[in-house]
Structure 1
Amino acid sequence: MAVTAVHLDSDAFMVCLAHALSTEREEVMGLLMGETCTYGCVFISVIQYMLYIFILNCYYRLAHELQRPIRVLGWYHSHPHITVWPSHVDVRTQAMYQMLDEGFIGLIFSVFNEEKNTKSNRVQLCCFQSINQSPEGEAPQYLKLEIPVHVVQTHTLGKACLQSLVELPHILSQEEEESYGKTLTIDNLDLLTKIHNSAVYTKSLCRIMDVMSGPLIQTLEAQLERNKTKIIQLQNEKESLLQKLNRKSRSPHSPSKVTSV
């Protein structure tokens, strides 16, 4: 049974897009967590990398916190500098996931595609599943089935999505550290190569700070200031309403209490 529609919360969409825009040299991939309903899937959180123990920890923690049947329902990956449509490898990968869960869906974020006329970058989103078009008994031949996706506005940044967003620079730094660590185990490297590898590692960390950590800190600080301003506005409104209630209660036209004997 194919999924009829996918509803993606805007804060989860933002985390996926931030991950997709973290690099234009290679594709990134992660999993989507959410719950099923009668009209499709509602995704409420994301995790950035496919580590089994980490997925289980996120799954149990999120399901416990929200008291809702949260589970892994999809995967997403990026297509930097290429079309948004899934390749034959993507379609086969999606088909394997659907063997485990027929409601599993795939999201593709096409990023770093420049419009020729406006010279501006265009971001595209595709949601799909795989269907087998081969007759029964023959080798499967999978085709993509595009699924309507609706980005649902959320007025606040959910705790789970905020945690994923904050962890993203750490995950990217950890990947660079692991890659650099592998070079340290290679024997008979000359000094110039070691210096080069160290410089590349340092450059990668600086890029993560410049592209991810810096803008993320600025965004969160701006959101904090907006929240503080909103709190002050609400406190002033509260005080104004309390003063109006007090004036009304002291007004001679206010109804007096009747005591029965």
Structure 2
Amino acid sequence: MSLKAVSLESDVFLVCLTHALSTEREEVMGLLMGEVDEERILHLSAVTILRRSDKQPDRVEISPEQQTDASIKAEQLAKDLKRPMRVVGWYHSHPHITVWPSHVDVRTQANYQQMDDGFVGLIFSVFNEDKATKHSKIQVTCFQSREVNSSFERVEVPLRIVPSYSISPACLSPLVDLPKILLQEEDEAYSSVSDEERQDLLTRIHNASVYTKSVCHVMEMVSGPLLHNLECRLAANQRRIQGLKEEKAQLQEKLRAYERAKMLPV
């Protein structure tokens, strides 16, 4: 049975979009967690960012071990939150290309649905410039797959983003871990091409320079803006706390004045 709609919490959307905007050279991927209700509406409330085993501009691959780790994490979240939680979706980015899924994306989605018919796919199209206005635009699509004449086609699923007034711990953790995961990817890529015994000096210098540039990119485009955003949220929360304390003091003073007024003789 197909899904009627997908409800995506805004803090999950924030994590997915931040991950998608972390690089415009290759696709990125992660897994989504939540549960399908009795009305066949999928509620997505948590996300896990996956480390890529192969970085390509037109595809993304992850290891089976990471999928297993995501399932274990979903089980732990279900215990912590005391509500059903499982891996029910995946997302990936389309840098510089259309938001619509490719035939590979549709087939991958079909494979996921063979294990769970409520599984859903999200695609974030980023770094696309509107030729008329010269403004960069971001698009998101939500889809499933269905088989037609021995092939698979895309089925668009209505997507609605539910506002949340804070970042839940289930989303804050992967958001904070994003720079670390990106740096792990760069470390693995550098290790795979580095061979001091067989490479000449010029090659070693080139590889080290590319690695340094990649690390600086993560710091400039991800770590710095993320830290600034979290600091701004912290400052806003502190102002909100101070405002609530002042409001509490005012209400307490009104309550005491009311109680004193009741005790006065008529």
Pick the TM interval, shorter chain: over 0.9
Map residues 154-233 of structure 1 onto 2, 5 A cutoff: 154-185=164-195, 188-233=198-243
Question: How far, CA to CA, are the matches of 2:92 and 2:184 in structure 1?
Answer: 19
Matched, 1:99 2:100: no
- Indicate how the Cα distance of structure 1 residues 203 and 123 shifts in structure 2: closer, same or farther if over 3 A, else same: same
Structure-1 residue corresponding to 2:34: 34
Native 8 Å contact 1:82 1:113 kept in 2: yes
Question: How far, CA to CA, are the matches of 1:76 and 1:119 in structure 2?
Answer: 27
Shift of 1:53: 4.6
Question: How far, CA to CA, are the matches of 2:27 and 2:161 in structure 1?
Answer: 22
RMSD over equivalenced CA pairs, Å: 1.6
Question: How far, CA to CA, are the matches of 1:98 and 1:205 in structure 2?
Answer: 37
Structure-1 residue corresponding to 2:3: 3
SS of the residue corresponding to residue 251 of structure 1 reads: helix
SS of the residue corresponding to residue 19 of structure 1 reads: helix
Native 8 Å contact 2:71 2:87 kept in 1: no
Structure-1 residue corresponding to 2:84: 69
Structure-1 residue corresponding to 2:101: 86
Question: How far, CA to CA, are the matches of 2:47 and 2:11 in structure 1?
Answer: 9
| Number of aligned residues | 251
- Indicate how the Cα distance of structure 1 residues 159 and 255 shifts in structure 2: closer, same or farther if over 3 A, else same: farther
Native 8 Å contact 1:248 1:254 kept in 2: no
* One-letter amino acid of the counterpart of residue 45, structure 2: I
Question: Where does structure 1 differ by over 2 angstroms across 4 or more consecutive aligned residues?
Answer: 184-187, 252-256
* Structure possessing the higher radius of gyration over alpha carbons: 1
Question: How far, CA to CA, are the matches of 1:80 and 1:180 in structure 2?
Answer: 23
- Indicate how the Cα distance of structure 1 residues 56 and 143 shifts in structure 2: closer, same or farther if over 3 A, else same: closer
* One-letter amino acid of the counterpart of residue 67, structure 1: K
Identify the range of structure 1 (240-249 vs 106-115) with the bigger mean alpha-carbon deviation: 240-249
Structure-2 residue corresponding to 1:251: 261
Shift of 1:248: 1.4
Question: How far, CA to CA, are the matches of 1:5 and 1:129 in structure 2?
Answer: 11
Question: How far, CA to CA, are the matches of 1:102 and 1:117 in structure 2?
Answer: 40
Shift of 1:52: 3.4
Structure-1 residue corresponding to 2:57: none
Shift of 1:61: 2.1
Shift of 1:60: 2.4
Shift of 1:116: 1.0
Paired-residue identity, %:
51
SS of the residue corresponding to residue 131 of structure 1 reads: strand
Matched, 1:131 2:132: no
- Normalised to the residue count of structure 1, the TM-score between the two structures is 0.92
